[in-house]
Amino acid sequence: MSSHDHATDHAGAHEHSDTEGPGYPTPAAMRTESEREETAYVMAPRVGMAEGGHDLVGIVDLDPDSETYSELIDVVEMPNKGDELHHFGWNACSSSCHVGGLARQYLVVPGQRSSRIHVIDVETPRSPELVTVIEPEAVFEYDLSAPHTVHCVPGGKIVVSMLGNADGELPGGFLQLDQEDFSIDGRWEADRGEMAMNYDYWYQPRHNVMVSSEWAAPETYYPGFDLEDVEAGKYGDSIHIWDWESREHVQTLEFGEAGQVPLEVRMSHNPEETQGFVGAALSSNMIHFYRTADGTWDWDVVIDEDPREHPDWEMPVPPLITDIVLSLDDQYLFFSNWLHGDVRMYDVSDMGNPRLVDQIWAGGLFGDRQEVQGTEIRGAPQMLQLSRDGQRLYWTTSLFSSWDNQFYPDIAEEGSLMLKADVYPEDGRMELDEEFLVDFGEAPGGPARAHEIRWPGGDCTSDVWQ
């Protein structure tokens, strides 16, 4: 057992080792005691598709002993067109594992463009049912729009990051829902300070901290990417530190050109740690942030990737780091380069000094592998999800409808894909599984853009520990 295992096993065990509610008492328990994932929920919008249609949440069979392995076996279609499902989360997770009577039963599924929030009952994992819809007008009442990250939080609540105001402009904020009936409590933040742009967030209740990142105003990124918007300062370059209990903004870490468009935030799963990573998409840097001895927060660029020349581009092409995932034992960091076409694996046992151990090229502008099972890889590695035991990495190839259509227009015609790599943590390597392919171009009702992935029972990007 590694030192990480010892630390993570210890973390939280003294507080509530007897799990009465959802999830697991420690990250190590989730990693070692949970069963292999057999089902995946994959949201797949149809906004901007050539054939149009309703967005869906797909159910993918991941049981290798099943006759329908690596197939899309069912879908839940949204009742309205134009939602642009993007990220989703649970009503409850391991942050409330000590709360009796609470179950991880509902997926909370927002529409990025519509600001409509759907609630899907997955008590029967392969027969999910849409049970509640919060209409956008109810969200706009709080001068918020464009929901993104959904986290269940202690105290019977759900907090959703919101990227814009009711008009799709800045500032954004946070919306709080009740776990029982999914009613809107109101805005989460008591004082947003200088935070205007919003995107992803992670919280660490043991240390009374939340960290949020920045994309841009919905009116800026909805139409697609324009470099002039970056030059005009319309895209983010900072992360924000919040007091979790008082809900007040306390510090801004501004990266400038070293961290343009900082998107996904991943803090250590070990609740005793006070550090994490944020991937800066446009700068294509990995930034390590951490609390210092005096209680303030600081940062360093720990991975710096270079753009590459491409004959079809007038400027060097940035890798575009668009998603990151940290293994439950905090040993490995994976991230995707959506424009270049690779997914990378780093040993981050020492988070301040990551070490590249492997990468897989699949699609993209530079990938030497452009087909799997004779199917063209439309897009490139983008949204990632890791198995709880750290032995399988899955990804999808769509980013956002207007950005897909700009950089990988084939996705709009034929849909995107879900792929998989086998990971060997003891050896520090991974290998593309040539037998696994889910083609969302063949989804019932027409092609769709496979995006974020969730497992029944929780995963590396949904669960937080107290």
- pLDDT tens digits, one per residue of 333-389: 999 999 999 999 999 999 999 999 999 999 999 999 999 999 999 999 999 999 999
For residue 432, count other CB atoms closer than 10 A to its CB: 17
The CATH class, in words, for 3-454 is mainly beta
| Radius of gyration of the chain measured on its C-alpha atoms | 20
Encoded amino acid at 40, one letter:
A
- What share of the chain has pLDDT > 70, as a percent? 96
The terminus-to-terminus CA distance of the chain in angstroms comes to: 23
Q: For position 100, what pLDDT does the model report?
A: 85
Token duo for residue 459: 């995963």
Q: Which segments in the chain show pLDDT lower than 50?
A: 1-16
Q: Which of 295, 392, 277, 379 is nearest to 335 (CA)?
A: 277
- In the block, tokens 């799963």 appear at 269
Q: For position 14, what pLDDT does the model report?
A: 33
CB 393 within 8 A of CB 433: no
> Max Cα separation, the chain?
59
Q: For position 12, what pLDDT does the model report?
A: 36
Q: For position 101, what pLDDT does the model report?
A: 84
**Residue 72: which H helix or E strand, with range?**
strand 72-77
Q: Which of 128, 140, 109, 118 is nearest to 43 (CA)?
A: 109
Q: Running DSSP on this structure, what letter comes out for residue 318?
A: P
Q: What is the pTM of this model?
A: 0.95
Let me know how many helices (H) and strands (E) the chain has, helices first. Answer: 8, 31
Q: For position 377, what pLDDT does the model report?
A: 98
